[in-house]
Structure 1
Amino acid sequence: MTDTLEAPGGKRGLRGALSGGSDHPHYKWVALSNTTLGMLIATINSSIVLISLPAIFNGIHLNPLSPGNVSYLLWMLMGYMLVSAVLVVTLGRLGDMYGRVRIYNLGFALFTITSIALSLDPFDGGGGAMWLIGWRVLQAVGGAMLMANSAAILTDAFPAAQRGMALGVNIVAGIAGSFIGLVLGGLLAEWNWRAIFWVNVPIGVIGTIWAYRSLHDTGLRRPSRIDWWGNLTFAAGLTGLLAAITYGIQPYGGHSQGWTNPWVLTGLIGGVVVLALFVWIERHVSEPMFPLGLFKIRAFAYGNIGGLLAAIARGGLQFMLIIWLQGIWLPLHGYSYESTPLWAGIYLLPLTVGFLAAGPIAGHLSDKYGPRLFAAVGLLVMALSFGGLLVVPTDFNYWAFALLIFLNGLGGGLFAAPNTSLIMSSVPAHLRGAASGMRATFQNAGMVLSIGVFFSLMVAGLSSSLPTSLSNGLTAQGVPASAADQIAGLPPVGTLFAAFLGYNPIQSLLGPQLLGSLPAANSDTLIGREFFPHLVSGPFHDGLVIVFWLAIAMALIGALASLVKPAKHQAEPAAE
């Protein structure tokens, strides 16, 4: 399709593009607008819950720090991302077979319906949590339909000379959505926790009607049989692996983490074995859901490696920054724990601004000069920002912090569009839906992996220094040594979740009886804004050093992967 192709009978106005003219010059902009809205709403929804968890748990009258409720918290947090990671390849492949627009439109409709159901949660306690988790899983199916096919629709609609720009707008909107959701969630949760789901409904209704009226399949479609065994083994293997990582960060058998839990080990080992079986199946079926031959294309293979590493580093940064702001910096600067989710989102705005500033520009420039160098430079800028965050103190000067996270966002924006263009432009047209799903799988799996990897590293860092810091801090305020040692011996993951949720756990850890036995001045100090942040800031920084060094390594390896040139018999991705 070219820029100037017209339908028989002469030129048509914008109405033609909106109502049926997929061959109209304006159609590509309609496709860009709608798919960008779809990506934005899907990714906003993944993070809007992240920062609204305290309000949600208060709304359904569930204590998120109670040991039995940690699983609810984790599945509320990770269920959406896990289901998206498992399904995007299948849904991208179905788009290749039955029409990318058809699957995309169905996803928009499903996403809207489930948003209504989530806002109408009729239960309290565990029942309310299960209602939200169940409908979030279904909502993730709709979100995966949007994510799996939006890049393929754009790759079909735009010529190679403009593809980087279009994908840049779309992908950066998706990435920025994950940070816009933090601010939006903080604002809406202050009003009513149900509003974080209501906000999706009008956007979803408009987007669904618009998509059904205006989008049309313009790419090649190749009807074929569904690879049921491939689908089943891929879903089972990836679910087992990612679920095991989710439970691995929870305490087990007197250990601070659950990596020795038989169920976790079964999930890890079994997941790897089933995925190995999946690879064998895909190599022996005539029409695989996961065309492994695409990995023979260097741009596709190394582009996805870079995308996976960038997603892990970016996801880890997001969680660490929320803990840093909500649990330490904001309380030290006079903000109440109840207001920290809102202000954490506001203070993270430079990160979003960096994404939005760099993404479309990088996409446009990569169309002219090729995507590889821009993708590599983006990850190098991210690595530089991680290095800067290593040297700032825990109680930092905000403007230095804002500059560093802006640089991180800038690097992410420089990387996102060229990386997507690198991947999508390297594959045959009839496999773009599958390729888009595979790319989204790596990104979504990277976000889930980031929680397991970075939380595990942070807990390991806390385990070495937090017990001593906690015991000394409590006894200095008159808490009996036996009680202080007992509290200090608790798994540090509870302290980490408290910081993540903007809670001060000291009051619930000590209990009213012990607090009542202490002098009033000591009791007030213990439950005040500054005691807990001062207590955990040193151990937190110890864990942060480990986390950010790993993020630097991932960004540098991803930059090297992005620079790998195509084989001599393979065309540069920018060309078509």
Structure 2
Amino acid sequence: MQYKWVALSNTTIGVLMASINGTITLISLPAIFRGININPFTSFQYLLWILMGYNVVTATLLVSFGRLSDIFGRVRLYNLGFLIFTIGSILLFLTPNTGSLGALELILFRIIQGIGGAFLFANSAAIITDAFPFNERGKALGINQIAALAGSLVGLILGGILSVIDWRYIFLVSVPVGILGTIWSYTKLKEISVPSRSEGIDWAGNTTFGLGLILILIAITYGLLPYGSSQLGWGNPFVIGSMVAGIGLIGAFIYIENKVKYPMFRLELFKIRMFTAGNLASFLRSIAYGGLMIMLIIFLQGIWLPLHGYSYEETPFWAGIYTIPLMIGFVTMGPISGWLSDRYGARLLATLGMVIVGIGFLLLTLLPYNFNYPEFALIIFIMGLGNGMFASPNTASIMNSVPPKYRGVASGMRATIQNTGQTLSMALFFTIVIISLASTLPTALANAVTQAGAPQLAPLMQKIPVTGALFAAFLGYDPVKTILSSLPPQITVPPQAVAVMEQHDWFPTVIAPSFMIALREAFYISSVLTFIAAIASALRGRRVIAEQQDGGEINAKNR
């Protein structure tokens, strides 16, 4: 077997493992929270950190690991990533405690997984780029990304099956894949690039960048938690201080990178038009698109599926099944666009892909909350096609534009920009939804319980944390039963009022108008960002293949 196929198959296993882990965790969160006995009304912070902690860690470490890979060898650190990720999966399976301590253990072990994932993500695109000639890289990266989507599909299905049996099994799935990949990578992968061991490590740059990005992402995460009487924490002095300190450290990082001899973040790569345009388009696309899946799943689980007769216990699984057209669209177009980009370049394909996704966001705003599923499925399928049309050509374009010597750090920079955009996207979507719900949902709930025959509950409904009500539904809990079970003993509710409120469509009907207003606002913003990403993509210029001359300077050739 030619080495390029060995490299592609191994990196594909790594992507498959990571993507299975992502969706299987998302779809199994209800079983995980029930398994560790966590109340969603009081534990929103744990949910956020289990969801976002992995991305925070990978986004922070990707550039540093990419630079280290250029110095010590991409394959060596990629292999280490497989090993660390597998260890993290085993620890998650063995999580010994329940309650808050169990949640903290899950977050810690997910962070360990994130460290391993950062090694994998920082090097997989660079290893493929090293192994394949320039006219086959788009196809190879397209195949790699098909594995990512296939893993997402497998994760949804496995998560729905295994979470019913035992929530621990969802983490055990990654272990045999990780062991196989670790053994294969250590025995079959080889260094093609020449490590730059003579170059030093930029300790100052690594420290300021890592701390700065961590503080910014922590501020974003805690900005989504209630603070005082506010439903959000953007006014929290800790959040403000973390954001200011983080931005200050990033500013110091940029200054340092222009002064040190061997910078970790090769700012001169941004002089390459295709590199800059491709990463800008990717960043904007990640902000617009990164939070889409979780918002759709929350909407389906909390509103649409209960309205169509699904119990809250089974909505997590079916929400994943009903979003499959989005992934099928990506799988359909990913390899085709990669092959076409090898022949004709990335600009037209990537630009058209973003235009299609932007139109998809606008079409989503036209749907009522009780939509017909075929219309919804067609829209998200088309959005998947557009995303697949963009992804592999854009990645190949970025990686082709940098010289071989800097492919590790360039891959890390590309992945960091993308992961940071995804984290910002989740923060953007959650902020818009929570602000909108906070202004309308308490009043809507108070009016609804009054009309149901329980006006004594109206003052309590005005004080319910929006995040708790929203994520109780997301985690498969019946919000009404959760609310009624937590009432003070001195408050009694007439049986006829309880019967009205426990009707399967009562809570979804109450929350739906407020939630749709919030979603439409988010989709409008995402469509604008996507169209700007299309403009950035169109500005990338002609196809560029970068080679390396003696001395390491960049020699870009138009193809």
- The one-letter code sitting in structure 2 at the alignment partner of 1:446 is G
Give 1:156's aligned residue: 130
Q: Tell which deviates more after alignment, 315-324 or 561-570.
A: 561-570
Distance 1:284 1:272 in 2: 19
Q: Does 1:84 align with 2:93?
A: no
Distance 2:13 2:346 in 1: 24
Q: Any gaps of 5 or more consecutive residues in structure 1?
A: 1-13, 15-25
Shift of the 512–101 alpha-carbon distance from structure 1 to 2, 3 Å rule, reads closer
Q: Tell which deviates more after alignment, 498-507 or 156-165.
A: 498-507
Residues 138, 342 of structure 2: 8 Å contact kept: yes
Shift of the 353–570 alpha-carbon distance from structure 1 to 2, 3 Å rule, reads closer
Residues 298, 567 of structure 1: 8 Å contact kept: no
Residues 421, 573 of structure 1: 8 Å contact kept: no
Distance 1:178 1:561 in 2: 28
Give 2:552's aligned residue: none
Distance 2:72 2:290 in 1: 33
Distance 1:39 1:527 in 2: 43
Q: Tell which deviates more after alignment, 227-236 or 309-318.
A: 309-318
How far 1:565 sits from its partner (Å)? 3.6
Give 2:448's aligned residue: 473
Give 1:3's aligned residue: none
Q: Does 1:111 align with 2:109?
A: no
- Which runs of structure 2 are paired with 1:156-555 in the superposition (5 Å)? 156-174=130-148, 177-178=151-152, 180-223=154-197, 224-481=199-456, 483-511=457-485, 517-555=492-530
Residues 172, 417 of structure 1: 8 Å contact kept: no
Distance 2:397 2:111 in 1: 31
Residues 354, 531 of structure 2: 8 Å contact kept: yes
Residues 461, 546 of structure 1: 8 Å contact kept: no
- The one-letter code sitting in structure 2 at the alignment partner of 1:348 is T
- The one-letter code sitting in structure 1 at the alignment partner of 2:516 is H
Instruction: Tell me the secondary structure at the aligned position of residue 338 of structure 1.
Output: coil
Instruction: Tell me the secondary structure at the aligned position of residue 291 of structure 2.
Output: helix
Residues 544, 558 of structure 2: 8 Å contact kept: no
Residues 51, 501 of structure 1: 8 Å contact kept: no
Residues 79, 186 of structure 2: 8 Å contact kept: yes
Instruction: Tell me the secondary structure at the aligned position of residue 387 of structure 2.
Output: helix
Residues 383, 551 of structure 1: 8 Å contact kept: yes
TM-score by length of 1: 0.92
Give 2:8's aligned residue: 32
Distance 2:272 2:286 in 1: 21
TM-score by length of 2: 0.95
Q: Does 1:121 align with 2:121?
A: no
How far 1:179 sits from its partner (Å)? 5.4
Residues 394, 541 of structure 1: 8 Å contact kept: yes
Give 1:101's aligned residue: 75
How far 1:374 sits from its partner (Å)? 0.6
Q: Any gaps of 5 or more consecutive residues in structure 2?
A: 547-554
Shift of the 91–568 alpha-carbon distance from structure 1 to 2, 3 Å rule, reads closer
Distance 2:313 2:480 in 1: 15
Give 2:25's aligned residue: 49
How far 1:521 sits from its partner (Å)? 3.4
How far 1:308 sits from its partner (Å)? 1.2
Q: Tell which deviates more after alignment, 240-249 or 563-572.
A: 563-572
C-alpha RMSD of matched pairs (Å): 1.9
Residues 249, 452 of structure 1: 8 Å contact kept: yes
CA-to-aligned-CA distance 1:135-191 (integer Å, 9 cap, x gap): 111111101111100000000000011011111121343355445433332222122
Instruction: Tell me the secondary structure at the aligned position of residue 284 of structure 1.
Output: coil
Q: Tell which deviates more after alignment, 441-450 or 462-471.
A: 462-471
How far 1:217 sits from its partner (Å)? 1.0
Shift of the 567–374 alpha-carbon distance from structure 1 to 2, 3 Å rule, reads closer
Residues 315, 451 of structure 1: 8 Å contact kept: yes
Shift of the 573–393 alpha-carbon distance from structure 1 to 2, 3 Å rule, reads farther
How far 1:510 sits from its partner (Å)? 3.2
Distance 1:42 1:94 in 2: 21
How far 1:127 sits from its partner (Å)? 1.5
